[in-house]
Amino acid sequence: MKRHLPLLISVLLCTISLLSVMLLIYSIQEENNYKNPENLTSVQFIGTYQASPSDLPRDLTSETYINGAEVPSLILTGHFDHEIQDNEQLLFRLNNVRFKIYINGREYFSYGEKGTYPSFVKSPGNIWIGVMFPHITLQDEIKIELSSIYHNNLSISYNNFYHQIYKGDSGALFQFLLKNNFTKIFLGFFVVLFGMMLLGALMLLKILKTPISPAPFYLAFFTIVSGIWVLIDFNLISLIIPYGLFTNILDVICLSLAPLLLVLYMLNFVTGNARYFLFAVAYSLLGFLLFFILTQGCGILDGYELLTPLCILLGISSIVAFFCLLHEIRHNSNKTTKFILQSCCLCFLGAGDVVNYFLQIIPFNIWFITGFLLFMITQFIFVVRYLNKSINNAYLTRQLESELAQSRIAIALSQIQPHFLYNSLTAIKQLCAIDPIRAEKAVGDFASFLRGNLDSLSSSAPIPFEKELNHIKNYLSLEQLRFGRRLRIVYDIHANGFLIPSLTVQPLVENSVRYGVTKKINGGTVTISTKETENAFIVTISDDGIGFDPYKKQDDGRTHIGIENVRKRLYSQGGSHLSITSIPKEGTTAVITIYKGATEK
């Protein structure tokens, strides 16, 4: 399955891309042909406007443009060009402004007054509202008072109000706006879908234990966050989510988080001193995001008030990151890295939105959408190639691991001493003639000993001490066939309810037999004892053999390697350890300390 996954992902993404292009062409054609639905009527306000009651009224026409960033308040006086029936709804677009409407001198409705929304925000948001009116004739005088909540409000905030008044149903308005903005909404959904698919594929590879670098995850999250930001179209979103303060906050979070994720993505490919500058950019963006969350949550500053410093920060960050990319592209010889970094440069078309925020010439995020779509096309190629390479590498790794496991088995089997096998089988052969019952038991001990060695290869997990002790008894039973009364065994077991790495005690017992007691003419005794202390279990293997000088280098390299392997296995289990003391001509003592916090049952 894993080997076919890149092909499946490629086919799926290509299918989605093809359908997306077809739907995009269709949506553009529909936008050009679509007209207002029958149950939605555009209403014009006819009359005058003035910035304050003391100003002279001026005629309000279809060509009138009032800069909302320069005029803190606005008064409209006049009438609607359509008669409003009783209980008929008018829909108004409020772009972070407070709103009051008077009918024939009497206040009828207000929106956005302090205390009507949570205290940690200063504006109810950038939303559509619907107001049910009584019967209004063309002769009724209408006065509308608007006041901008933010000093840095969009210049088109007032124009959005008096040029977008509709009579009818909010569902019809949603349908109308969706048709008019379908291209942008569709692109937003496509980007989010692409990001979710990429994230899902990466999670699947993680579940399959395929090694993956962090870069594709940053790309997936960047794609999802950017798609959400594109979807937050204030012309439409409040008709779906009627909580303007939530969409305002989400808009600022996405606008702050997307460039941070892009920088983190680029850091996976940038080397040298350029990384320090990109880290500075990343920490700056992260600091702003945390500052926004803190000040917004405490009601100190509003997200919209921070848009100007955020745009300045994004502008500076874009310049720094762009030159870091140019430096890396110039000095990096890796073609794949160059391709990725060159495609990242496309995202810096979004810097045009920073300029447009202050000039407000075209829709705010048009530059970002253009650069982002070009970026996604190039990243599509990279992602498919990366996933294909990762899965193939994982497949090769599994093959190598399998071959390595087979090698480990061969090595482990080769470490079972040939002379021990020969001596054991010879002793069993002799017993078959003189004592068949003992021979039968010896065969069982021999089979159990071999199985114990092979079982240790199948798992690295610790085993119960009782199992290790049985393995030792099988080994010693076979050795006693050879050495008879020269090999005496004493078991002094006071604790056995603990776990121990497999094949840690048996090699020490084998050393005591081979290099200790059996080197003496009269043999000796091997004692195996256990005890429990407050913090650990102690396993002691002692013998009264010939001993050795611990300060003198031993000639038998295999014994040294075996002891070092025991030390490593013990240390891997919570820092447990082995200590060995020996006195020439008196004997050797090996002490294993198993800490309770590491392998206790």
Question: Residues 247-300: pLDDT tens digits?
Answer: 888 888 998 998 899 889 888 888 778 889 999 999 999 999 999 999 888 888
User: What average pLDDT does range 100-110 have in this prediction?
Assistant: 94
Looking at the structure, do residues 238 and 184 belong to the same domain, yes or no? yes
Between 255-264, 430-439, 557-566, 589-598, the lowest mean confidence (pLDDT) is in 557-566
Residue 413 CA to residue 415 CA, distance in Å, equals 5
Element (H, E) at 146: strand 142-148
Q: Which CATH number does the domain housing residue 156 bear?
A: 2.60.120
Higher-confidence position of 143 and 323: 143
User: What average pLDDT does range 529-545 have in this prediction?
Assistant: 92
Structural domain includes residue 400? no
> Is the pLDDT score of 457 beyond 80?
no
Looking at the structure, do residues 454 and 590 belong to the same domain, yes or no? yes
105 pLDDT band, cuts 50/70/90, is: very high
Six-digit token string for 77: 């006086």
pLDDT given for residue 1 in this prediction: 46
Looking at the structure, do residues 377 and 457 belong to the same domain, yes or no? no
Six-digit token string for 315: 């502008």
Q: Which CATH number does the domain housing residue 578 bear?
A: 3.30.565.10
pLDDT given for residue 2 in this prediction: 47
pLDDT given for residue 558 in this prediction: 46
pLDDT given for residue 91 in this prediction: 94
Beta-strand relationship, 577-583 and 487-493 = unpaired
540 pLDDT band, cuts 50/70/90, is: very high
Tell me which of 113, 143, 168 is where a domain ends.
Answer: 168
Element (H, E) at 15: helix 5-33
Q: Are 256 and 262 in contact (CB under 8 A)?
A: no
Structural domain includes residue 131? yes
pLDDT given for residue 194 in this prediction: 83
Structural domain includes residue 120? yes
Element (H, E) at 347: none
Higher-confidence position of 334 and 224: 224
Q: Are 112 and 144 in contact (CB under 8 A)?
A: no
Helices (H), strands (E): how many in the chain? 17, 17
> Is the pLDDT score of 324 beyond 90?
no
pLDDT of 188-216, one tens digit each? 888 888 889 888 888 887 887 777 788 88
Looking at the structure, do residues 150 and 205 belong to the same domain, yes or no? no
Looking at the structure, do residues 431 and 523 belong to the same domain, yes or no? yes
pLDDT of 573-585, one tens digit each? 766 889 999 988 8
Structural domain includes residue 407? no
pLDDT of 72-94, one tens digit each? 899 999 999 999 999 999 999 99
Residue 188 CA to residue 223 CA, distance in Å, equals 10
Element (H, E) at 148: strand 142-148
pLDDT given for residue 411 in this prediction: 47
Higher-confidence position of 124 and 421: 124
> Is the pLDDT score of 372 beyond 80?
no
Tell me which of 395, 410, 437 is where a domain ends.
Answer: 395
Sign, CA dihedral 196-198-203-208, equals positive
pLDDT given for residue 266 in this prediction: 83
Looking at the structure, do residues 203 and 138 belong to the same domain, yes or no? no
- Mean pLDDT, the chain, whole residue set: 79
pLDDT given for residue 494 in this prediction: 92
Percent of the chain surpassing pLDDT 90: 21
Residue 73, strand partner residues: 147
489 pLDDT band, cuts 50/70/90, is: very high
pLDDT given for residue 331 in this prediction: 76
> Is the pLDDT score of 568 beyond 90?
no
Q: Are 478 and 446 in contact (CB under 8 A)?
A: yes
Q: Are 565 and 411 in contact (CB under 8 A)?
A: no
What is the tally of structural domains in the chain? Answer: 3
Looking at the structure, do residues 93 and 30 belong to the same domain, yes or no? no
Residue 276 CA to residue 280 CA, distance in Å, equals 6
> Is the pLDDT score of 30 beyond 50?
no
Looking at the structure, do residues 236 and 362 belong to the same domain, yes or no? yes
pLDDT given for residue 80 in this prediction: 94
Q: How many residues does the chain have?
A: 601
Sign, CA dihedral 384-386-390-393, equals positive
Structural domain span for residue 562 = 418-599
What three-state secondary structure class fits 143?
A: strand
What three-state secondary structure class fits 592?
A: strand
Rg of the chain over all Cα atoms, to the nearest angstrom = 40
Structural domain includes residue 245? yes
Of 31-40, 234-243, 303-312, 492-501, highest mean pLDDT: 492-501
Residue 415 CA to residue 420 CA, distance in Å, equals 11
Nearest Cα residue to 465 out of 304, 348, 335, 596: 596
Residue for token pair 């006693």: 480
Structural domain includes residue 403? no
> Is the pLDDT score of 25 beyond 80?
no
Residue 498 CA to residue 598 CA, distance in Å, equals 10
What three-state secondary structure class fits 330?
A: helix
Nearest Cα residue to 342 out of 357, 355, 325: 325
Using CB atoms within 10 Å of the CB of residue 86, give its burial: 0 to 12 exposed, 13 to 18 middle, 19+ buried: exposed
Structural domain includes residue 527? yes
pLDDT of 44-67, one tens digit each? 999 999 998 888 999 998 888 888
Looking at the structure, do residues 22 and 51 belong to the same domain, yes or no? no
CA neighbours within 13 Å on the CB side: how many for 60? 25
Looking at the structure, do residues 164 and 196 belong to the same domain, yes or no? no
- Which residues have a Cβ under 8 Å from the Cβ of 553 and sit 6 or more positions away? none
> Is the pLDDT score of 538 beyond 80?
yes
Angle at 263 between CA 261 and CA 266, to 5 degrees: 110
User: What average pLDDT does range 85-112 have in this prediction?
Assistant: 92
Looking at the structure, do residues 481 and 379 belong to the same domain, yes or no? no
DSSP string, 205-250: HHHTT----SHHHHHHHHHHHHHHHHH--TTTGGGTS--HHHHHHH
User: What average pLDDT does range 337-366 have in this prediction?
Assistant: 57
Higher-confidence position of 292 and 560: 292
Nearest Cα residue to 491 out of 451, 533, 531: 531
Looking at the structure, do residues 147 and 188 belong to the same domain, yes or no? no
Tell me which of 124, 142, 168 is where a domain ends.
Answer: 168
Structural domain includes residue 448? yes
Residue 72 CA to residue 150 CA, distance in Å, equals 8
pLDDT given for residue 26 in this prediction: 47
